[in-house]
Structure 1
Amino acid sequence: MLRRAVTVLSALALGLSSVVAVAAPASQVTAARGVVAAAEPRAAAAGQEILRAGGSAADAAMAIMLALTVTEPMSSGIGGGGFLIHHDAKTGAVLTIDGRETAPASAGPDRFLDADGRPLPYMRAVPGGYSVGVPGNIALMAEAHERWGRLPWAKLFEPAIRLAEQGYTLLPDNAPGPYAVQGTLAFRLKQAEALWTDFPEARAIYWKDGRPLASGETVRNPALAATLRTIAAKGPDAFYKGEIAQEIRAAIAGSKRNPTVMTAADLAGYRAKPRPAICGAYRGYRICGMGPPSSGAITDLMILGMLERFDLKALGKDSPVAWHLIGEAMRLAYADRDAWLGDTDFVAAPVAGLLDPAYLAERSKLIAPDGTLGEYRPGTPPGAGPLAATPAPAEQGTTHFVAVDAWGNIASMTSTVEGPFGSSLVAGGFFLNNELTDFNEQPRENGRLVPNHVQPGKRPLSSMAPTIVYGPDGRPVMALGSAGGRTIIMHSLKALVGTIDWGLPAADAIALPNLFFRGPALIVERNSPLEAMIPALARLGETAVAGDIPSKLTILQRTPDGWTGAADPRSPGVALGW
């Protein structure tokens, strides 16, 4: 949202620090028995440990999620939510689990409006209780473990408990590699210093001698270790109905900023929802991802559907025309995303219409190789109702991880607490999300409620895009996803085009320049080949400017030698095999 873009914390949430573009190759590894890739090295090692112990891809992914609660608390964890897509090697089935947070009963459409009906300033809306949704990751984990787990539930907690109890060293915040989005924990702690005067529980864990911990220092979190031990021993009910649920409620009610109510029923009633994957075809490949409340797969498939009539392979990755075409399709697809999508348990989003080939063909006709449309309005897909368009916010404190096991099962999961450190509230040693600010702050447009307005029990619209790709022979060939808020969709898109159209290996697809937009203008990644194309893009009618576009892509790709995992060099991420 434009209002947010001018605030200090919004700039931090977007990762708009003095980063540079890709300078180092992606971390990658090829292995025959199993591979994981994550945006934080200790969490990746947790997943590798579980694979070596005989765990499934789902087991490894859940161990990574738990470890990230400890080592990447600014980005994700058990106080947030996520989306998982899973490929079952035995049956060939692909299924998603929706662990997105839900609004509590106390949250209505005017949650983030002041007494005069105006949206609250960002720094008044996010910190504290108003922004916290009912966390979904533990329920998602329980659903995934019941369906696909091979190791005992408690075993998956062991790496995270060890990290919390024994401690870990903060990564250097000036290490090689252009860290972005969440950066390193040490860097983010510096940024949160002024805010945390009102959050003593956070300071108690991450401060020392009156200052934030710095790179090279050790973090220990015994409260989180105790929380994880409790859930490991007693199961998910300990989180949603037991003492941990009470701690969550107390943190929200007792917040110095925006205290509010989350009831016992809000927590006890939460359910992670298995949902059919959203799948579409592109050049003989089948691409599957999350449906609503995620917009990731739908928007990517819309962009690809509009691009399919153009010969991107012949144009190649170094062609300004290719990137111009991608930019045009991107802006048209996002216009539809913002207008039509929301939680389909509450709104009648025209998903089938948005993906209808005839509709996408009509949208594609608006794209010209030698000029820009200039104005990008939503279309009217089949099945659409009255239009009430206003851009939706997007999660910023996010991470992605992937795992493939010895049997060929695949898990691709994106997890988030929304902003860096979420609401900054701590319960049981973990941060509570600020996911409710992913709802539209202004609930009405043209006198109608927008699809993504706040409602009790509703899940906010997301850009998270965990994806699995199937080749022309029907076998899985790739799994991927990223962090980056609204830009997540485009990080996944460039990787799909890079591998399918341009034949790139995973590491090279990750290294492709990042692209996004602001209004009608293209934002191209600074110090990348795209920045050098700005004059050529201008000749095509584009207004293009260089900027920092962070990402945290992780990819699995099938190769003749086994599965290759790759992690974005813009992050501290790594890929590990065994």
Structure 2
Amino acid sequence: MFNFLRYKQFSIAILYIIVSISLFWCEETRAAFVLPLRTKKGMVTSAHPLASEAGLSILRKGGNAVDAAVATAFAISVVEPFSAGIGGGGFLMLHQAQTGEMKALDFRERAPLRATRNMYLDEQGKVRPNASVNGYLAAAVPGTVAGLYEVHRQYGKLPWQEVIAPAIRLANEGFVVSSIPTWRFVGISQTRRDVILNNDAARQIFAPNGRLFALGDRLIQRDLARTLQTIAKDPQSFYTGEIARTIASDMARNGGLIGLADLKNYKPTWRTPLCGSFRVYRICTMPPPSSGGVHLLQILNIIGDTDLKSLGWHHPDTLHLLVEAMKIAYADRSVYLGDPDFVNIPVTALTSHSYAAKRRREITMQRARPATEVRAVDRDTLERFVNSKESPETSHLSVVDEQRNAVSLTFTINYGFGSGVVVPGTGILLNDEMDDFAIAPGVPNVFGLVGGDANAIAPRKIPLSSMTPTIVTENNRLRLLVGAPGGSTIITTVLQVVLNVLEYNMDVGAAVSAPRIHHQWLPDKLRVEPFGLDALTLAELRRRGHQIEQQTPWGNANAIAVTPDGSLEGAADPRGEGSPSGY
């Protein structure tokens, strides 16, 4: 063991030297450790530099964190149309510095009123391929505009029109498509080529003259600019005005389900934040219908008092414990998580320390349990922990203002370019969030997640999500904001960034850059990033029974930390093209 540890420490030291000096690049992946930006007053991090700059411009004008977050989100809708936009939905966490209050806003999409449990099955009861991913039937009722307006109405400082102005300018003037790494705009549009070309309005915007955008091309979205101008004057137009009528009319012509009643009845929901403790920190995150918060806390609880720091970063014992905890959490997710307005979710039990202790005892440190041996406990067993005494393709952005108010916001249109449907004349690219429901028992969604009755389709129901916008405090003071896109990998990405900062004392640049692992119970594979783990560690994990699969780096996390001297430290994931902006 002594030799093994020396070898591992030497390997990690060499890795840090290489990436620090050369910012190592691979032809097909971007694997670099980024240096964090440090500022004193305010900061915005997001998936795109232009969006971060839009948010920063609002902070400089005297706007607060909510103003800047709204501006950044609308800008993302323009510059990252493949990942998030006004045709989708999401979740927001808000920390108010003066009172210490945490707020959680759910503006997730909802199933249309005409949605049915078996809407994606044929007459023989078999799933119709891609019906929940591509085209009009894949779209759920969007919530982004309603959510952003709601949080701004209650907590914004600058005029509504002013915070949307940067996005309107970006849509009108356009921006140069950059794609480093190449799987971003250009790469994703290539993978969704057929879907884009199959919709006339989408083709006109994203493939003019039948050619997809290439590096260096300028994307101008004048229809979207006009839509944003209308929203700036009257945000309700999206749900009860001309925009709503245009969406409903296009749906009716093409077999979609979203109607005027769906849009008129849509309302975002303020929910009680889900908070728990880890070491000296208070972790506050999204409750259901996001599964992210429940399982982030569950995994942290299973880790418990284990001294990961003394084991070492990416020690086999650390990795093994994390993976086995991930399996348990995702197995529970498949059975218990859904829309709390429709199903009874045992959140208190799932996030209790006593339940975590029970599940921790199932873990054998020298043997990986096959997924077939990992099961959600039955509800009667789980109910015993309800009364335990306890501490109570997507895009993410984080904002902190000078007063240390903070917003952690994750929103999405789901898969790349959503449903591939653009509503003619509006520039609105609609989501394909219906795929986040369990469309049939045992049938995985596009991210490989399996669900059950709790997440079955029903009218006005919210599909289960993995989005995990998170805010961490220490002694009632802001410590960390973090979130990530990535479908089923969101929860484990946020988990690892949290541990990197809080447990291993990494700066946020190293924390979002560090190699990642992921296991979601089914399929029974341990995903690892190339160049992430040394050969001896991989061999040891295989010896314990882990089925390892190396995959292209995933996730696009960003984070802002508050340092001991009160400064802000922000970083965006080197796997994406985002950046922090601050002053």
Q: Once structures 1 and 2 are overlaid, which stretch shifts more, 113-122 or 135-144?
A: 113-122
- Shift of residue 81 of structure 1? 0.1
Q: Which residue of 1 aligns with 2:562?
A: 558
- Shift of residue 21 of structure 1? 5.5
* SS, match of residue 116 in structure 2: coil
How do 1:329-348 residues align onto structure 2 when only pairs under 5 Å count? 329-348=325-344
Conservation of the 8 A alpha-carbon contact between 2:530 and 2:551: yes
Conservation of the 8 A alpha-carbon contact between 1:363 and 1:379: no
Structure 2 counterpart of 1:79, from 87, 91, 105? 87
- Shift of residue 321 of structure 1? 1.2
Structure 2 counterpart of 1:399, from 388, 395, 401? 395
- Shift of residue 444 of structure 1? 8.4
Q: Does 1:455 align with 2:458?
A: yes
* SS, match of residue 125 in structure 1: coil
Q: Does 1:153 align with 2:160?
A: yes
* Percentage of matched positions with identical amino acids: 37
Conservation of the 8 A alpha-carbon contact between 1:443 and 1:452: no
Conservation of the 8 A alpha-carbon contact between 2:301 and 2:352: no
Aligned mates of 2:216, 2:28 — CA distance in 1? 23
Conservation of the 8 A alpha-carbon contact between 2:134 and 2:419: yes
Q: Which residue of 2 aligns with 1:511?
A: 513
- CA separation of 1:261 and 1:36: change in aligned 2, threshold 3 A: same
Aligned mates of 1:571, 1:531 — CA distance in 2? 26
- Shift of residue 430 of structure 1? 1.7
Q: Does 1:143 align with 2:119?
A: no
* Structure 2: gaps spanning 5 or more residues: 1-25, 384-392, 444-450
- CA separation of 1:457 and 1:108: change in aligned 2, threshold 3 A: same
- CA separation of 1:217 and 1:449: change in aligned 2, threshold 3 A: closer
- Shift of residue 129 of structure 1? 1.4
User: Match of 1:534, as an amino acid?
Assistant: L
Q: Which residue of 1 aligns with 2:386?
A: none
Conservation of the 8 A alpha-carbon contact between 1:21 and 1:527: no
Aligned mates of 1:51, 1:355 — CA distance in 2? 36
* SS, match of residue 407 in structure 2: strand
Aligned mates of 2:536, 2:52 — CA distance in 1? 35
> What's the TM-score, normalizing by structure 1?
0.89
Q: Which residue of 2 aligns with 1:10?
A: none
User: Match of 1:207, as an amino acid?
Assistant: A
Structure 2 counterpart of 1:267, from 263, 269, 277? 263
User: Match of 2:415, as an amino acid?
Assistant: G
Aligned mates of 2:192, 2:535 — CA distance in 1? 31
- Shift of residue 318 of structure 1? 3.5
Task: Render the CA deviation track for 1:125-183: whole Å, top value 9, x for unaligned.
Answer: 32221111111011111111022101000001111000111111100x3x4xx46xxx3
Q: Which residue of 1 aligns with 2:20?
A: none
Aligned mates of 2:432, 2:381 — CA distance in 1? 33
Aligned mates of 2:213, 2:500 — CA distance in 1? 39
- Shift of residue 382 of structure 1? 6.3
Aligned mates of 2:558, 2:261 — CA distance in 1? 37
Q: Number of aligned pairs?
A: 535
Q: Which residue of 1 aligns with 2:483?
A: 481
Q: Which residue of 2 aligns with 1:211?
A: 211
Aligned mates of 1:27, 1:247 — CA distance in 2? 46
Conservation of the 8 A alpha-carbon contact between 2:404 and 2:478: no
Q: Which residue of 1 aligns with 2:237?
A: 238
Conservation of the 8 A alpha-carbon contact between 1:70 and 1:163: yes
- CA separation of 1:480 and 1:191: change in aligned 2, threshold 3 A: same
Conservation of the 8 A alpha-carbon contact between 1:21 and 1:525: no
- Shift of residue 568 of structure 1? 0.2
User: Match of 1:566, as an amino acid?
Assistant: A
Root-mean-square deviation (Å): 1.9
Conservation of the 8 A alpha-carbon contact between 2:508 and 2:560: yes
- Shift of residue 549 of structure 1? 4.1
Q: Once structures 1 and 2 are overlaid, which stretch shifts more, 546-555 or 86-95?
A: 546-555
- CA separation of 1:198 and 1:323: change in aligned 2, threshold 3 A: same
Q: Which residue of 2 aligns with 1:200?
A: 200
Q: Which residue of 1 aligns with 2:533?
A: 529
How do 1:12-31 residues align onto structure 2 when only pairs under 5 Å count? 23-26=31-34, 28-31=36-39
* SS, match of residue 36 in structure 2: strand
User: Match of 2:346, as an amino acid?
Assistant: P
Aligned mates of 2:29, 2:503 — CA distance in 1? 23
Q: Does 1:190 align with 2:193?
A: no
Conservation of the 8 A alpha-carbon contact between 1:251 and 1:425: no
User: Match of 1:506, as an amino acid?
Assistant: V
- Shift of residue 520 of structure 1? 3.1
Aligned mates of 2:265, 2:27 — CA distance in 1? 42
User: Match of 2:488, as an amino acid?
Assistant: R
Task: Render the CA deviation track for 1:469-520: whole Å, top value 9, x for unaligned.
Answer: 111x221100000010000000001011111221111111112211112533
- Shift of residue 371 of structure 1? 2.0
- Shift of residue 443 of structure 1? 5.2
Aligned mates of 1:107, 1:381 — CA distance in 2? 28
- CA separation of 1:30 and 1:225: change in aligned 2, threshold 3 A: same
- Shift of residue 25 of structure 1? 2.4
Aligned mates of 1:502, 1:313 — CA distance in 2? 6
* SS, match of residue 126 in structure 2: coil
- Shift of residue 191 of structure 1? 2.5
Conservation of the 8 A alpha-carbon contact between 1:350 and 1:383: no
User: Match of 2:219, as an amino acid?
Assistant: V
Q: Which residue of 2 aligns with 1:254?
A: 253
User: Match of 2:271, as an amino acid?
Assistant: R
- Shift of residue 118 of structure 1? 1.3
> What's the TM-score, normalizing by structure 2?
0.89
Q: Once structures 1 and 2 are overlaid, which stretch shifts more, 183-192 or 434-443?
A: 183-192
Task: Render the CA deviation track for 1:60-107: whole Å, top value 9, x for unaligned.
Answer: 111111111111000001100010000001111001000000011110
- Shift of residue 251 of structure 1? 2.6
How do 1:335-484 residues align onto structure 2 when only pairs under 5 Å count? 335-374=331-370, 375-380=373-378, 397-427=393-423, 428-442=426-440, 450-471=453-474, 473-484=475-486
User: Match of 2:502, as an amino acid?
Assistant: I
* SS, match of residue 147 in structure 2: helix
Q: Which residue of 1 aligns with 2:448?
A: none
* Structure 1: gaps spanning 5 or more residues: 1-17, 386-396
- Shift of residue 301 of structure 1? 0.6
Q: Which residue of 2 aligns with 1:322?
A: 318
Aligned mates of 1:497, 1:361 — CA distance in 2? 19
* SS, match of residue 283 in structure 2: strand
Aligned mates of 1:208, 1:577 — CA distance in 2? 36
- Shift of residue 287 of structure 1? 0.5
Task: Render the CA deviation track for 1:279-311: whole Å, top value 9, x for unaligned.
Answer: 111112110100010000110111111111322
Structure 2 counterpart of 1:165, from 165, 172, 178? 172
- CA separation of 1:400 and 1:449: change in aligned 2, threshold 3 A: closer
Q: Which residue of 1 aligns with 2:502?
A: 500
Aligned mates of 2:518, 2:196 — CA distance in 1? 32
Task: Render the CA deviation track for 1:411-454: whole Å, top value 9, x for unaligned.
Answer: 00001001111111112102011111100010589xx9710011
* SS, match of residue 454 in structure 2: coil
Aligned mates of 2:553, 2:215 — CA distance in 1? 24
Structure 1 counterpart of 2:126, from 118, 125, 138? 118
Q: Does 1:43 align with 2:51?
A: yes
Aligned mates of 1:29, 1:444 — CA distance in 2? 45
- CA separation of 1:103 and 1:318: change in aligned 2, threshold 3 A: closer
- Shift of residue 28 of structure 1? 2.8
Conservation of the 8 A alpha-carbon contact between 2:171 and 2:221: yes
Task: Render the CA deviation track for 1:103-132: whole Å, top value 9, x for unaligned.
Answer: 11110111211111112212x332221111
User: Match of 1:106, as an amino acid?
Assistant: R
Q: Which residue of 2 aligns with 1:127?
A: 134
- CA separation of 1:561 and 1:444: change in aligned 2, threshold 3 A: closer
Conservation of the 8 A alpha-carbon contact between 1:513 and 1:530: no
